Amino acid sequence: MIDVEDLVALVRNYNPRTNADLIRKAYAYGMAMHEGQFRKSGEPYFTHPVAVAAILTEQRLDDATIITALLHDTIEDTRSTYTDIVGIFGDEVAELVDGVTKLTNLQLSSTESQQAENFRKLFMAMSKDLRVILVKLADRLHNMRTIKSMKQEKQAQKARETMEIYAPLAGRMGMQWMREELEDLAFKVLNPEARNSIIRRFLTLQRESGDVVHKITADIRTELDKVEIDATVYGRAKKPYSIWRKMQEKDLAFSRLSDIYGFRVICGSVADCYRILGVIHQRWRAVPGRFKDYISQPKNNGYRSIHTTVSGRDGKRVEVQIRTREMHEVAEAGVAAHWAYREGVRTKNPFAVDPGKWIASLTERFDEGDHDEFLEHVKLEMYSDQVFCFTPKGDVIQLPRGATPLDFAYAIHTRIGNGTVSAKVDGIRVPLWTRLKNGQSIEIITAEGQRPQSSWIDIVTTGRAKAAIRKSLRDEDRGRFIKLGQELARAAFEHVGKKSTEKALRTAAKMLGLNDAEDLLARLGSAELTARRVVETLYPELARAELPEVDAARPVIGLADDQAFRRAPCCQPLPGERIVGITYRGRGIVAHAIDCPALAEFEEQTDRWVDLSWHAGRHAAVHTVTFDVTIANDAGVLGRICTLIGEQKANISDLTFTDRKPDFYRLLIDVDLRDVEHLHMVMTALEAETDVAQVSRHRDLTRKP
C-alpha cells in the first residue's frame, strides 16, 4: 500500500501548493474508519481507497477529489456519517463523498425500467459535480485490476457492467486510456480464451517480423528530422479487446486484420500538426476513407487530433494520430482536464471542456417523461462515435455514426424531420435509410402535409428522431385510440358493477402516474395499458372477488397429504412467483423462489427437489415479505409510510431500524401480503412517496429454513 508521504509526493509533483496536512488527515481518518475491514484478497480494505487516490493523481486532479477518493467508502461501509465528513473536511468534500456513495448503490445493470431510472440518477449526480464520476471510474478501474479475488459469478457480473456501462462512459468523457484498460480487463474475465489467443498471435507475429513498433517509430522520427519538426513519437500495439472487436465487426481473421498498431505524434503547434500530416502522406500511401480531422471539427468532449491510416513498412497498415501537447493532455484526461493542476494552479488548457456545458450537451434532448426513451437516448449518446455533416449553408451537424438523412433532418428541427420526403447527399438523391459519412453535405426536401411513417422508427438512429416520430404517430392515432379506450373502459367497469365516470378515470390516471383521463384512454386504446389494470387500480378487492379463495394452510400444488409446507425465510417467495420445494428431514418441505441463490447448495441433491406451484385464486394476506426502506429523517414521515402500507390493505408485522443518519433512516419492514401483485402495489405506493429515498425487497441469505 502506498504510504501517506508517497501519496502527498505524487500530488506535489503537479501541485506544489497542495494542502498536504488535509490529505494526511484524510488518509489517517480513512485508515481509522476502515480498521479491521479486509478485501476479498485478504488485504486491509484501506489499500483500495489509497489505490483509487493514486489513480486520480495520474490525472493531476485537485485536493478535494484526492481526499474524496480516500474517503469514498466511509459513509457506506463504516460508522462515519455525512455530518462527520462536513465537520472535519468541509461541505465540498462531504458532497463529493455522498455523491460517490449514492452512485455505489445504483444497480446500472438491472432491469430496463430500473436501469433507465438509475441512469437518470447517474447523470443527475454527474451534473452536480463531474468529479463524482471521476472517483467512481477510478474506483471501478482498481476493482477490475484486483477482480481475481472475487467469486467467479461476481467477476462475470462486474465485468459485464464494466463493458456495457463504465468503459463506454469513460470513452464518452474522453478518457480513452481508461476505456481501453477497462474493456481489456473485462475482456480478460468474459472471454479469456479469445484474449489469450490474440496475445499468442501477437507474440508469433513479433517473432516473425521483429519489433515493428520500434521500426515504424524510428521511420517517422527520421522523416520529421529531415524537415526539422520538433515532435515526440510514440508507438504501441493495440489492446487485445480492441483487436477482437475489430475482428468481430469486420468478420476477419487475425492474419487479415490491418492497422493493429497505433502511433502518436505530439508537437508544439496546430500548424506543425498539418505539416506532419503532409510529411507522413508524402512518405507513405494514405488509406482512402480513413482520414479524420478532429482539430477543425473537435468532438464535444474536447477531443482534438488528426487521424490518418497509412500503408507503412512492409505494407502493414498503421494508424497515426497527430496532436499538440495541449490537445494530448485533453485526449488523456478528457473532461477531467478541466480540474487538472500544474505548478499549484488550475491548468488553463484552451481545449478543456467546461463540464457543465458538456453535461448539458449530453442531456439537453433527453425526454424527462419516458424512461425507455431516456435510456435509448443515453446509450446512443454514450456509446456512439460521431460523424460531422454539413447543411447547404455550411453549418455543421454532429450525429452518431450510422445516422441517416432522417436523423439529420430531425437534428435541424422536428418540423423539418416530420415533413421530410427525400434527401440529397453531395447533390445526389439517396434513399432515406442511407448511412451518412464524415464531411458529406446533406439537403433535406420537405413537402406540406407529409407525416412520419411507422417504418421510419427502424430507419433512424438518434434518440431525438425516434422520440419525435413516436410522438407524431401517437398524436395522429390519439383520437382513434381514445374512442376505443372509452369502450374498453366502459365494458371493464360494468363487469365489476361500476361506471367509468370522468372522475373515476381521472383518479385512475393519477394513481397510474398518467397526465389525465384522456391520456389513460389513449393508452388503453393503443394496448399500452389493460382495462383490467385500470379496474384493479381503483377497485383491487372487486377485481379479485371473482377468483376463488385459496386455503391458507395448503396454498401450493404438489404436496402429498402428509407433507408440511413452509416458505423459505431467505427468499420469501410469494404466490405468483415460480417456486421449487426442497425436502428437509423432520421439517417437511420448504419452498424457495426459483432464482434463490440458496438453491445452489442442492444442485447435486436432485432427490430432495419437489415440483411445486401456487394455487390459482385469492390468497390470504399472510405471506410475510421484508422491505428495505430508506426514508427522510423528518417529523411524521414514518407515520405516513405506515399509513401508506395500510391503505394498500397490507399489515406491518415487524419493523427494525438498521441505520440512523442525520438526514435519513434505513429500516427493515415486515409486511404481510397476498401475492406478487400485492407486493408490486405496496412497492409502487412507497416509491411514489417523496420522502422515500429508496425501497427494495430485502432477501437475507443468512436465514436458513
Q: Is 27 exposed, middle or buried (0-12, 13-18, 19+ CB in 10 A)?
A: buried
Q: How many CB atoms lie within 10 A of CB 288?
A: 7
Residue closest to 533 by CA, chosen among 473, 492, 477: 492
Joined together, the cell numbers standing for residue 479 give 383520437
Torsion of CA 527, 533, 539, 543, to 10 degrees: 100
Residue closest to 166 by CA, chosen among 147, 181, 149: 181
Which helix (H) or strand (E) segment holds residue 265: the answer is: strand 261-267
Q: Which long-range contacts (CB under 8 A, 24 or more apart) does 435-440 make?
A: 435/402, 435/403, 435/404, 436/387, 436/389, 436/399, 436/403, 436/404, 436/405, 436/407, 436/408, 437/387, 438/292, 438/387, 438/388, 438/389, 439/388, 439/389, 439/390, 440/389, 440/390
Which helix (H) or strand (E) segment holds residue 310: the answer is: strand 306-311
Classified as helix, coil or strand, 509 is: helix
| 467, 418 Cβ separation under 8 angstroms | no
Classified as helix, coil or strand, 71 is: helix
Q: Write the CA distances from 528 to 244, 679, 699, integer angstroms.
A: 41, 22, 32
| 565, 559 Cβ separation under 8 angstroms | yes
Strand order in the sheet with 588-593: 565-567, 588-593, 579-584, 609-611
Torsion of CA 35, 38, 44, 49, to 10 degrees: -90
Contacts of 67 (CB under 8 A, 6+ apart): 22, 23, 26, 89, 93
The residue annotated as part of the active site, out of 77, 577, 672, 677, is 77
State the Cα–Cα distance between residues 240 and 205, nearest whole angstrom: 14
Alpha helices, H only, 496-511: 502-511
The residue annotated as part of the active site, out of 6, 35, 58, 76, is 76
Which helix (H) or strand (E) segment holds residue 611: the answer is: strand 609-611
- Active-site residue flag, 35: no
Q: What b-and-e string marks burial along 42-57, b requiring 16 or more CB atoms within 10 Å of the CB?
A: eeebbbbbbbbbbbbb
- Active-site residue flag, 76: yes
**Maximum pairwise Cα distance, the chain:** 95
| Residue 670 φ then ψ, to 5° | -85, 125
Q: Is 167 exposed, middle or buried (0-12, 13-18, 19+ CB in 10 A)?
A: buried
Which helix (H) or strand (E) segment holds residue 446: the answer is: strand 442-446
Query: Which active-site residues does the annotation give?
Result: 76-77
